[in-house]
Each structure stands twice: as structure tokens, then as C-alpha cells.
Amino acid sequence: MVVENNIAELANLTLDHRMDPKNEAQFIDITDHLKALAAKLAPETVVKEATFNLFEGTYALEVCNVKLDTSLIELCPEELEFDCNVPYGDSNNGERLDYVTAVCDRLCRSLMNWLHDYQTLPTTVLSCRYVEFLMELYTSNPVSSLQSFQGLRTRDPLYDQVLCSFVIGVCSFIKFTSKVLKDGGVYEEEDLNCNVMSLDMLSGVDTKEVIDLLNSSLQLLVQSYSESTHLQKLVDLVKHLLHLPNYHYPSCQSSVSSDLLPLQKSLDIISSLVQDDYTTKQHSYPPGCFSKGIQKRRDNNFPPKDLFEPKGDEYVSYTEFMRDIIAALSVKDCNTAFEIRQYVWFFNRIRQRTVMARALLQSYLIREDTILDKFRFNTFKDMHLYEFSLAGTALYDVISSREQTTDRDNMIEALNELSYCLLRWYQNMPQNSCRHRQGFNRLLLDWDSVQAQFEQYETQWQSMGIVDSITNMGNIPLMPVSTWIYTTKLLMMIEFTLEGFHLEVYKPWESFTQYWFCYYLSSHLESNLKRLHEFLLQKISYILNYNKRIKKLKAGEKKENAKARYRHLTDNVLPQLRLNERTVNFFFMKCTIFKSLSLAQVFQFALLKSFNVIDSKNDVSTRFSSDRLIHKLRFKTFSSIGIPEIPTFEQFQKSLNDFVIEPPSIHSKIPKLLNFMNTELESAKSALSTIIQTIETGETDDSPVSTGTKHVKEPALQWYKSMLNSTVALSVNASVLKTKLSEDLKSHDLHATYDVELKFTPNGCYYFPLLTISPKKARNALPHTT
């Protein structure tokens, strides 16, 4: 009856309807107006707010669409009636302690489900009614001290003190994590979803106060609840998590901690929690305590989603989480630019590190304009140059001179332009593997541009008399800065190319082109390194023979000056030159490894091509495009690169033909091809063994190479051992291919017989998946969606 009356009243309303000041609940029926206006619209018209675009649209919630409208979520009676101010459980039989422990345990696990398993906050931590209740309280009254915070009012200290402080601790950690995310380094949504549903996560509360509160709870548990061991560990763990802001530069600008002991201690707590074997299935919490209700009640930009139930391995994940963070912060132990470079390169190499560790590495390493608060960024860039190609050069003598001149200042200013490129390189390394490759796509533009710029600068500096010639190479100029830039750029080009295999971007038919290109780039890198190596030997020889020159001088000021210079050269320059020579040797070995493994892949591709099993062109319809255009698109990243010249489509095709075995007697020629391949693989093995042995035994002045991996030993060893495994796997794979291809000695066209796949080998390097063949399968299934 009430409804009917309302409908009748609504029907009488018009746009001219006058508001009745006594009746607050008034509505105006605009149906007719809407219909009249809609009738005038063309069918294709979209009525929308001007700023609402497709991106907004994909996040829009559609009323009454059960897949999108969170208000349609149905809650059970326990969820509807749940009251955070009721002390659930029997106070006499320990049920309350069980309940509180279970809630805290699940919250701890939920944190890991969010941070480690990439789940969202509303389906994990925020699904806890106590979290929602307490943060709503705080949001409506954001106090600056917890002393004036209302909290829970069950009149049971387990709830009001322990559970409340625990929730506050967890929320304070979420606040910190959001801050880490906002400060950049990792990507919202894909790396971490920080949707706090417009709740204020204790913005005004100091972490120290939260830690004090957790300490009080711990004290209470120890004193009054003898059966609370598991709960005590959980409280202790959250308390230790709140030490993390001490290592985050923007969170504590004045004194970023370098003491990792609290984090080591947290590993002990986690280990103890793993041993507890406390499973969520054995323990229950108050019914309705974890609920989808928050998605229904609060702002939500996401479609309804089921709660993420803990899987049971969360404390194992905590171990990895904390170890990754400790690994990230251990970058502090590095002393040289090369060590830091190597540390950052290997940090995220074997597997993608947990998002918090990747974010913390960046903020801990790069603190405004310094590195680790040890070196200003421009100095750090100079260190990179000095530790590679600048030591012992005439250019270094000028820029390190005490005498200030306009030319020197201009040179320093020019060199400082490199700092930005270097900074971007460091920021790119801890990204997730997809972003990491994309990052190179952009970085290559910058580095190619600075290379062109510095070749001009260094030519100009030569004309000013600052010359570093390589005598044994026809007095060609070294150009130390350009040499470093070119090396870095080539390494990025190689990495970008090989990461495509890791991310499964390439199809098997593309592998020849990519590996041949990698071989080509490595050869250019090798030539570049040879120039530098020759220069370093020349300089070392110059210093070693300097003494003979002194002997020829007459006693006097000139001789004394020469002696002083000799001391400076032997004490300072010579050790660095020798170290740089070992570093260059390391890069030479990297070249050998890349070249040999790539060439082995090229040989195997050529073997398959010889039997028409595969071709380096897409074996499909190119009705809409062409092989040449598809090739050009694949090499788009390098389309603007000046040096080295990028081979044309035709050059790639010709190269493949050079490797292919021509009839007649294809089978009898296979062993020769495999012999070539195995010789290459032996070179790679030898280089890898040298690197591995050097890392394992520790680097000395007598080591053949300098790897700079002293502080990142384990990941570096794993990386090179995975390459060694790939070397073996490639050799075995070649034999397998030979056997399969030789099954029918009369057939040289096996196109219709075999499918080719790129397969990762267990423990092998993901840059070198194997080209494998299997009997062709019929394909009927078709896709349904994109």
C-alpha cells in the first residue's frame, strides 16, 4: 500500500514540481523528459561525461549486472549480524584465545596472499570485519595518536587490546606498503594492488606508537595467557614487519637503517611459525568474521570477487619474502660501482623477487641524488667510467685536475648528462620481467642518443689535444666515454633480444634471426672490448716501463717530478688498470658465451632448415602483410639504432642459407655441422668454467677475470651454472635432432612430419630454450575469445 501511494505521488511530480519544505524525501519523475530526449538521439550516440573514456569504462560498475555490481553480493546471517564489539567465544574454555589466534593467523596469512600471491586487499586483509570496523572508525575520526582512538569495546582484553593492536599493526604495514608503491619503482595493479577501498590506513599514526602498542599486547599475552605461544609469535612477527620503514629512504630520510638484525630475527620467528604447523582448517574464527561484505558496503572499483582462502604455505612465503628483502638491502655491502652494477643485475635474475624487495632495492640504493648515501650520483657515474675505460686516460687527467678551466667545467657538465641514463638503467633492473624488457626498449633510445652525442664531444676534445690513442691499432682513438656507452648499449641490446626467449615472445621460426642477431651483437661487443683491452695493456706497459725513463733523466727537479708521477701511477693507476683489464676479460668471456650458445642455436636451426622442418619466415598466410614487414616490425626497437648497423631482412635470409646443408648427401654432412657446433659449445664451457671457478674461489689479484659478484655470489653462480647446463643440453639436443632426422635416410623434406617447439630445459638458462621436434599434430580447436 505504501509503495502504491509512493508510485502515485511520483507519477504526479513534474520538473516544475515545487519542493515541499516539510517533506524532505521528495523525488521528481523525469521519465517522460528522459524518453523525449532519448528519442532525439541518433542510435550511435553515447551519453557520457566528457572525461569518461574506455579505461574508465573497463572499471565501471554496471548496476544490476551480477558480474559487476558489488551491491548484489548476498551475505549470510552470520555476516549480517556480525558485531565487532561482541567478545565471541566462551571465556571459560579458552575459546576466545582460539578465536583471536585464528583471526590473527589468517590476517598474517592474508598479508602474504596479498603481497606474495598477488591477490587484492578486499579479498584478503580487508575482508576481515575487525579491519573494516577499526579502519572505518579511524577514517571517520583520523586521530594522530592511538590514545584517543576508540578501538574495540568487547570488554575482553584479548579482543580490545591484543586483536585491536594486531589489526592496527597490519593496517600500519599496509600504509607503509602503499607508500612504497606510491614512491615509484613498481607498478600499481600489475605488481601490487593497493586498493584500500577509500579507508584511511592510520595516516596520522606514527609507526613507533604502533610498535609500542604491539609490545604491550605481547607483554599481556606473556603475563596472562600461558597458552598463547602461537599468538605471541604472530604479534612479534607483525611488530618486526613494522621495522621495514626503517629501510625505506623516503619514510626515514635522516637515518636509513643499515642494521639488518631485526630482519634476521623475523626470519627466526617465521621459522618457528612454520614449525608450529598451525593450519587454518583445524582452527575456526567467529562465524562471519571474514566476509565479502566490505565489497558490498564500501567504494569498490573492482567487480565482485570471492575471498582468497589461505593455501597453507603462507609462512614459507614469508621466508622467501624476508630473504628477498634482506638480499635487496645487502646491496649496502658493495663498495665499487662495478660491484653495485653486478649486484643489481643479478638480484632479480634467477627468479622474480617479491615485489616489496624489488621496490625497496630501488629506494634503498637510490636516495634522491645519492647512491646508498655514500656517493653522489654524478660521482657514481664517474666511478662506472673509471672502473671500466676512464682510468689512465688523458681525459681523466683533465677532468680530475685541480686546475679549474672552462673546458674542464664543460667536460664535467657534458659527462653529467650521462647520469640520467645510468639512473634509468638502475631503475629498470628490479622491474618485473615484462617491464624489464620493455624498459630496455625505451632505454636504448636514450643510450643510442648519448653515444652519438659523446662521439662528437670526444672528437672535439681530441682536437683540443686530449687524445687517448691505441698505438697497436694504428693510433685509433679510444674514446673512453663512448666505449663505455657503447658497451652498455650493446649489452642492453643483447639482453633485450634474449629476454624475448625468456618471455616466450618468439615463435620457433624466429629463433634463427634472434640468435644470429645476438651473435652479431656479441661480435661487435667483442671488437669494442678488444680496443679497450689493447689500450689497457698499452697503459700497463707504459707504467711498468716508466722507471726506465726516470733512470735516463739527470738528477734534479724534473727527475723528482717524474719519480712522484711514477709513484702515483704505480700506487693508484696501475692497480685500477689491472682490475679493469680483468673486468674486460670477464666481458670477453660473456661475449664468448653469448656467441657460442647463439651459434649452437643457429646451427641447430640450420640443421632443421636443411630438412625443411622449419624456415626463418612465418610458415603461414601473409595475405595481409609480408615477411619483410613482419621482420621489420620485430626489429622495430632497433630501427633507429645508428651503431651497429642493423642487418636487413635480406641479409638475415642470406646468412641462414650460408648455414644450411645443401644436397646431395645431407646426412653425411651432418657430423661436420655438429662438430662445428660442439667446438663452439666447448668454448662456452671453458669460459663458463673460468667464471664459475673464479666466483667460487673468490677473486684475487691473480684471478683471470673480475666478476664483481663478491656480494651476490649465489645468484651469480646459479646463473652461470644454468648456462653451463644449457651448454650440455644443447649438445645433447643436437644429437637427438640428428637421430630423428636420420630415421629415414631417403627423405630430405620433413616439413609435413615434424612440428618444432622451443622448450625450456630443467636447470637450464631461460635465454636458451631448445629447438625440439615432435610428430605433427592435427589442429582443429579454435579460439573463442581474445
Partner 1 sequence: MVEIRYTRFDISNDMEFSTIKKLIDEDLSEPYSIYVYRFFLNQWPNLTYLAWAEGSGKPIGCIVCKSDTHNGVRLRGYIGMLAVEKQYRGRGIAKKLITLAIDTMIDEKCDEIMLETECSNAAALHLYENMGFIRMKRLFRYYLNQGDAFKLILPITEKSCVRSTFLGMDSFPTDTIL
Length in residues, the chain = 786
The CA distance from 326 to 336, in Å, is: 20
Question: What interhelical angle do 649-659 and 511-552 show, nearest 10?
Answer: 90
**Cα–Cα distance for residue pair 430/128, rounded to 1 Å:** 32
Binding part of the chain for partner 1, among 52-60, 375-383, 521-529, 714-722 by CB under 8 A, reads 52-60
**Taking CB under 8 A as the rule, does residue 578 contact partner 1?**
no
CB closer to partner 1 out of 99 and 347: 347
Phi, psi (5° rounding) for residue 643? -125, 135
Task: Select from 17, 33, 48, 351 the one that contacts partner 1 (CB under 8 A).
Answer: 48
Residue (329 or 613) nearer to partner 1, CB: 613
CB of 700 to partner 1, least distance (A): 41
Chain centroid to CA 122 = 25
Among 22, 35, 67, 281, contact with partner 1 (rule: CB under 8 A):
67
Q: Measured from the CB atom, is 532 or 614 closer to partner 1? A: 614
Peptide bond into 508 cis (omega under 30): no
Task: Show the 3-state SS of 34-79.
Answer: HHHHHHHCCCCCCCCCCCCCHHHHHHCCCCCCCCCCHHHCCCCHHH
Q: Is 477 helix (H, G, I), strand (E, B) or coil?
A: strand
Residues 69-108, one symbol each (x = binds partner 1 by CB under 8 A, - = not), give ----------------------------------------
Based on the shown chain and the rule CB under 8 A, indicate whether residue 275 belongs to the binding site for partner 1: no
| Closest distance of CB 516 from partner 1, Å | 17
Q: Is 394 within 8 Å of 584 (Cβ atoms)?
A: no
Which of these segments, 50-58, 141-149, 338-346, 471-479, binds partner 1 (CB under 8 A)?
50-58
Q: How many CB atoms lie within 10 A of CB 103?
A: 26
- In angstroms, the Cα distances linking 503 to 41, 433, 521 are 48, 8, 20
Q: Which of 175, 437, 685, 740 binds partner 1 (CB under 8 A)?
A: 437
At its nearest, how many Å lie between partner 1 and the CB of residue 99?
Answer: 31
Q: Using CB under 8 A, which residues numbered 601 to 640 contact partner 1?
A: 618, 620-626, 629-630, 632-637, 639-640
Q: Phi/psi of residue 477, each to 5°?
A: -75, 145
| Identity of the residue, 120 or 232, whose beta carbon is nearer to partner 1 in the bound complex | 120
Q: Is the dihedral of CA 492, 496, 501, 504 positive or negative?
A: positive
Closest separation in Å from C-beta 652 to partner 1: 15
| Contacts with partner 1, 485-524, as mask; x by CB under 8 A | ------------------xxxxx--x--------------
Q: One symbol per residue from 639 to 658: x for binding partner 1 (CB under 8 A), - otherwise; what is it? A: xx------------------
* From 19, 24, 35, 43, residue interacting with partner 1 (rule: CB under 8 A): 43
Least distance in angstroms from the C-beta of 623 to partner 1: 8
| Among residues 229, 427, 433, 612, the one that binds partner 1 under rule CB under 8 A | 433
- 325-351 as b/e: b if 16+ CB within 10 A: bbbbbbbbebebbbbbbbbbbbbbbee
Q: Which stretch in 47-55, 220-228, 315-323, 422-430 sits in contact with partner 1 by CB under 8 A?
A: 47-55
Rounded to the nearest whole angstrom, what is the least distance from the CB of residue 431 to partner 1 in the complex? 9
Q: Is 37 in the site for partner 1 (CB under 8 A)?
A: no
Q: For residues 343 and 328, give the distance between their C-alpha atoms in angstroms, rounded to a whole number.
A: 9
How far is Cα 20 from Cα 761, in angstroms, rounded to an integer? 78
Q: How far is the CB of 48 from partner 1 (least distance, A)?
A: 7
Each residue 304-323 as x (binds partner 1 by CB under 8 A) or -, in order, gives -x------------------
Residue 689 is a binding residue for partner 1 (CB under 8 A): no
> What are 679's three cell numbers?
667446438
Instruction: Tell me the C-alpha distance between 718 and 729, whole Å.
Output: 16
Q: By rule CB under 8 A, what count of residues binds partner 1?
A: 62
Nearest-approach distance from CB 265 to partner 1, in angstroms: 32
Q: Give CA torsion, residues 232, 233, 235, 241, to 10 deg.
A: 160
Does residue number 10 form part of the binding site for partner 1 (CB under 8 A)? no
Query: Is position 38 an interface residue for partner 1 (rule: CB under 8 A)?
Result: no
Q: Write each residue from 182 to 201 as x if it is in contact with partner 1 (CB under 8 A), else as -, in one continuous string.
A: -----x-xxx----------
Rounded distance between C-alpha atoms, residue 465 and residue 445, angstroms: 31
**Nearest residue to 221 (alpha-carbon basis) of 213, 236, 208, 232:** 232
Q: Write out the DSSP string of 718-758.
A: HHHHHHHHHHHHHHHHHHHHHHHHTSSTT----TTTEEEEE
Cβ–Cβ under 8 Å, residues 599 and 593: no
Contact region with partner 1 (CB under 8 A), list: 65-73, 126-134, 174-182, 751-759: 65-73
> Which one among 5, 23, 45, 223 touches partner 1, defined by CB under 8 A?
45
Nearest approach in angstroms of CB 600 to partner 1 is 24
**Residues 304 and 295 sit within 8 Å (Cβ to Cβ):** yes
* Biggest CA-to-CA distance, the chain: 121
CA–CA distance from 599 to each of 28, 105, 504, 518 (Å)? 77, 53, 20, 9
Shortest distance (Å) from residue 665 CB to partner 1 = 35
| Least gap, CB of 779 to partner 1 (angstroms) | 7
Query: Measured from the CB of residue 117, what is the shortest distance to partner 1 in angstroms?
Result: 9
CB 773 within 8 A of CB 508: no
Work out how close the CB of 632 gets to partner 1 at its nearest, in angstroms, rounded to a whole number: 4
Per CB under 8 A, does 44 bind partner 1? yes
Does position 68 interact with partner 1 (CB under 8 A)? The reply is yes
Cα–Cα distance measured from residue 669 to residue 672, given in angstroms and rounded to the nearest whole number: 6
Q: Which of 435, 530, 721, 776 binds partner 1 (CB under 8 A)?
A: 435
Backbone Cα Rg of the chain: 33
3-state DSSP assignment of residue 366: strand
Q: Is 197 left (phi over 0), alpha (psi -120 to 50) or beta?
A: left
Q: Does 679 bind partner 1 (CB under 8 A)?
A: no
Residue whose CB is less far from partner 1, 634 or 748: 634
Joined grid coordinates for residue 680: 663452439
Min dist. Cβ of residue 190 to partner 1 (A) = 5
51 binds partner 1 (CB under 8 A): no
Which amino acid, 30? Answer: I
Q: Which stretch binds partner 1 (CB under 8 A): 42-50, 244-252, 533-541, 584-592?
A: 42-50
Binding residue for partner 1 (CB under 8 A) from 10, 28, 445, 544? Answer: 445
Q: Rounded to the nearest whole angstrom, what is the least distance from the CB of residue 54 to partner 1 in the complex? A: 5
The cell 636451426 sits on which residue?
A: 605
Sign of the four-CA dihedral 129, 130, 133, 138: negative
Output 499 or 581, the one with its CB closest to partner 1. 499
Residue of 27, 57, 83, 668 that binds partner 1 (CB under 8 A): 57
Among 6, 65, 219, 416, binds partner 1 (CB under 8 A): 65
The nearest distance, CB 123 to partner 1, in angstroms, is 11
For partner 1, the binding residue among 61, 75, 540, 717 (CB under 8 A) is 61
**What is the binding site for partner 1 (CB under 8 A)?**
43-46, 48, 52, 54, 57-58, 60-62, 65, 67-68, 118, 187, 189-191, 302-303, 305, 432-435, 437-438, 445, 503-507, 510, 618, 620-626, 629-630, 632-637, 639-640, 779-786
